[in-house]
Structure 1
């Protein structure tokens, strides 16, 4: 029985690690654009207020220009997400952006707009669909691209990689996205839509609970766009219950955001939550709360699901409907009827989420990203910092490394160390943000915002963990000098591998300069890199 229990724990840990990786990749890819999402959401909120006051006309130039400013990030979401996700996964961000851009390029969108028939790619039939504002297709496409990019870097000559790798990646991934990844998302969305229609015909209460609980997660994957046409079709007949039931979800997120705002003592997290409440409440754009808080803290997912289910069940059971299409917010309440019941439903979701968050908190033991790594989300400014050496040994410029990822500073600026002792220690106070399963590489985020990657050896990933022992786990808090990894230098060399270790600052672009020490030899805890802001 004990062995079975241990096996189940191991299995749970593996599942948890996979989930952490997925959510970590999603949250990390949204991190750099949270600020522009918040700003765009506030523009939408401003437009809603100006329209409701009658100060501007929806047909006027002022509205058109401000609307363009507020909606650009959403329309071109595949481009921005392609850039950030590719960067997060260690691939070329501009290629990722180009993959997203291909889905919005006029030659393709003209086919979609014209509803062209019998379109094919090399004889393979193409299912045309609009991908503006979508998330799911580009998440899949760029994830596959990142794998392909790593393979190409191993087989393509270094001098040819600059143009050959993007060429092959675009020629392979863009068609695959339009032929497979995009339609897959479309089919999944259509299946969800049919499920909602089936539930609606059976029980408004059950449908409302399912929609209220699940709408947030459909939105994260961009699958909610497949349900919107059902709502629009209902509106064409007079009124729609789907938006009214789903409205509980964004209000639950707003309530959770309020709860986090008052619960947390962390100033940066308070800024994230507070900044997300306003556009969510006034314009119905909750992206900042979703990707700045909810994806990071899994307990909030449960809270939002519970509160959304209750609010959605109230609206579904009592027959509330939308009389016009609008993103659910306080300003759009008048388009729902009966208005009194709708208010009861959405405010129930808001209050329940707020109270649950305040009472039970938002942090769980196995959160994807602990509060200490708020800088991972690009909202905390980095500070001037000195990074200590994680190893004792001789200094080697990154340019002399055989791995082009480091020699070309693609990953970031830094320096390499030829170690004389097989002990890697933490160079800063911070949090372990990544630990390779093969134990040969580890990433740490410092308390002052530096993101540090330490990669032991060249191609040592092929050792599959042999001769490496780790003393920490992902998301552990560490202090400067704490032992992270031990490795057997002699056995690694006897196996035919170099132990030259790269120490790089992966968020180099957030600093004015990254200055390695000029000393030829170094000891652990000596200053290795100075970060200038």
Structure 2
């Protein structure tokens, strides 16, 4: 790869040098702040040899390069007016993130930690519906009531959970945020609603609302709270902040929420939900076709998070039609992914297609298909639109609806009514997606194979030696070898799909695993050489003696900390042994600064291996067995 040519092409297609106000790089991507985000030619950028993906997130335009990012970055600063250093135009004004982007970022950051609990509880509600429908469990039995409590709790007490997660997203005290949400559920407050009277606060009448399962009131309250807390910390002496800041925040925010923020938020949510239901009343067929066919694009741009509060608002009234129409798109994508799996003879693509199909059918998670197949093979996008529109029209036309918040997968079918029409809708969507893919194929002239994309990301600084299978002296098939990688961190083990960053979650950087660290130290998982360690200290690439290129990326977007809270203990070219200290980091300070510490451990040259097998343990300590590379 010629880095100079790639750097020139990236600058040209991003809108030219004059469109760039700031540029930094992390372990895998160039992060541009642009004057005008409409100028870049995303399709040309994605088609460039050496570019794995393009992502817009957090007000930045990000070009995912892989391990060669440092070389490309250096070429850009050499051939432009910006000069050298890890920051381009250090005195450039940072453009403010658009209001709409900030709103969706807050919704996404606040709801995404709760989605596993909500999805699990939703499926449990679906099972309970099936059990009572078939008469297996009585709705009055203790068994049903206990399981119903487990299924309903996360939704009923949603203001409390959202208070915690939204406060974290806004950079405020999450526990005070949780108390603000809890105040809306506290028996003394809910008792006012039960009395039927109109209470007052300091003589001001209070409009009472039922805040169980609500979303918008909490977002508004916590947003205001974040500013109140910052202001109070400026004017109150540090020694008194521990009790005075929470005291004054609660005394100010809770009454305002009850009198203003809460009712206003409820009215907003209800108005949006009523508008969608109104469209459904006019033409469920048309509404279903639009949602089923086009929601794919909302997922691509991350705008689907804005629909979840509307779904929840609908469910507070009993049922929701959006999830049923949305399901058609998911099953259409599953059909396309299955079609690619059946037609492809490329081992890596077949693996991605198979896992993407299972991810949709078993978990209702669409991002692996979106980023791993649809955006790579754009010929398949019309298949999803057509199949999703037809399935959505069926579900909308027959007025199918969800009775609980669920991820749309095979296990949540019981949460939809009428179930027979819902089955027809999703089966049609999946079948049409599968047939279109099998008949018309998925490749086009501009498509880049997954294997080629992987091959375009060799190790940085030090050339990795591709691992090969051992020859069989008897002349038979090659003998498989395994390389075991130890854990560089202590913490909870997570799937890459749980990493809130598409380039990692969808496998664009390679296979691997993620760890949520509980100790602020990263050690070497292998005997090898340091290929790259970023100046910011948040990421390191090392090469094992047998040729594995391993990326350890501590936290998401932590490059923005500019080295604060990270202390590298090695430098490029150092020889390390298993267990040698690589990086120390202040875990609590990173979290207090609002950054997610989840750490992807990626095998960048995944294409050199038959398989990358994750540990089955849910938690590890440093130097426990983490990954097995099969050669």
Flag whether TM exceeds 0.5 (same fold).
yes
- C-alpha distance in structure 2 between counterparts of 1:140 and 1:294, whole Å: 32
Whole-Å separation in 1 of the counterparts to 2:388 and 2:184: 33
- Matched residue of 1:189: which SS? helix
Is the contact made by 1:209 and 1:311 (CA closer than 8 Å) also made in structure 2? yes
CA contact (8 A) 2:540 2:553 kept: yes
Q: CA deviation at 1:278?
A: 3.9
CA distance in structure 2 between the partners assigned to 1:258 and 1:31 by the alignment: 26
Q: Please name the residue that 1:169 is paired with.
A: 249
Match among 2, 27, 36 for residue 10 of structure 1 = 36
C-alpha distance in 1 between matches for 2:385 and 2:177: 32
Residue segments in structure 2 that go unaligned for 5+ positions in a row: 1-14, 21-33, 39-58, 60-94, 342-347, 451-498, 508-512, 524-533, 542-550, 565-569, 573-584, 598-620, 624-631
| Pairwise CA distance, 1:94 | 0.5
Alpha-carbon distance between aligned partners in 2 of 1:109 and 1:79, rounded to the nearest angstrom: 14
Aligned counterparts of 2:188 and 2:156: Cα–Cα separation in 1: 17
Per-residue displacement from partner, 1:355-377 (whole Å, max 9, x unpaired)? 9999699x9xxx982332799xx
1:89 pairs, out of 158, 163, 170, with 170
| CA distance in structure 1 between the partners assigned to 2:241 and 2:374 by the alignment | 39
| Cα contact 2:167–2:174 (8 A) shared by 1 | yes
Report deviation, 1:120: 3.1
Q: Secondary structure at the match of 1:10?
A: coil
Which of 553, 570, 576 lines up with 1:447 in the alignment? 553
1:141 aligns with 2:275: no
Matches within 5 A, 1:115-264: 116-196=196-276, 198-200=278-280, 202-209=282-289, 217=304, 220-228=307-315, 243=321, 247-253=324-330, 256=333
The answer as to 2:542 corresponding to 1:372 is no
Cα offset, 1:96, TM superposition: 0.9
Give 2:78's aligned residue.
none
Asked whether 1:105 is paired with 2:207, we answer: no
Distance (whole Å) between structure 1 residues aligned to residue 109 and residue 396 of structure 2: 35
The CA deviation string for residues 192-238 of structure 1, in whole angstroms up to 9 with x for no partner, is 35434543554343343456567995874523354457777xxxxxx
**1:127 partner SS:** coil
1:17, 1:55 → 2: CA distance?
A: 52
CA distance 1:480–1:208, shift in 2 (3 Å): farther
Return the offset for 1:185: 2.7
Q: Distance in 1 between matches of 2:385 and 2:227?
A: 33
Cα gap change, 1:26 to 1:271, in 2 (>3 Å): farther
User: Does the CA-based 8 Å contact 1:204-1:313 persist in structure 2?
Assistant: yes
Pairing partner for 1:331 from 414, 424, 441: 414
CA contact (8 A) 1:259 1:353 kept: yes
For structure 1, the residue ranges without an aligned partner over 5 or more in a row are 233-241, 281-288, 389-423, 432-444, 459-478, 482-500, 512-530
CA contact (8 A) 2:536 2:562 kept: no
Distance 1:217 1:345 in 2: 21
Q: Which residue of 1 aligns with 2:153?
A: 72
Per the TM alignment, residue 152 of structure 1 is displaced from its structure 2 partner at its CA by 2.0
Residue aligned with 1:330, SS: helix
> What are the equivalent positions in structure 2 for 1:341-356 lying under 5 Å apart?
342-350=422-430
Please report how far the alpha carbon of residue 64 of structure 1 lies from its aligned counterpart in structure 2 after TM superposition: 0.6
**3-state DSSP class of the match of 1:381?**
strand
| Contact 2:214-2:313 at 8 Å conserved across structures | no
Seen in structure 2, the aligned counterparts of structure 1 residues 142 and 316 have a Cα distance that, compared at 3 Å, is: same
Instruction: Note the C-alpha offset of 1:176.
Output: 2.6
Q: 2:480 corresponds to which residue?
A: none
Instruction: Tell me the CA shift for residue 427 of structure 1.
Output: 0.8
The offset of 1:350, in angstroms, is 5.0
Specify the alignment match of 2:23 in structure 1: none
Q: Could you report, residue by residue, the CA deviation over 1:496-526 in whole angstroms, capped at 9, with x for unpaired residues?
A: xxxxx99965259999xxxxxxxxxxxxxxx
Normalised by the size of structure 2, how large is the TM-score? Answer: 0.49
- TM-score norm. by structure 1 comes to 0.56
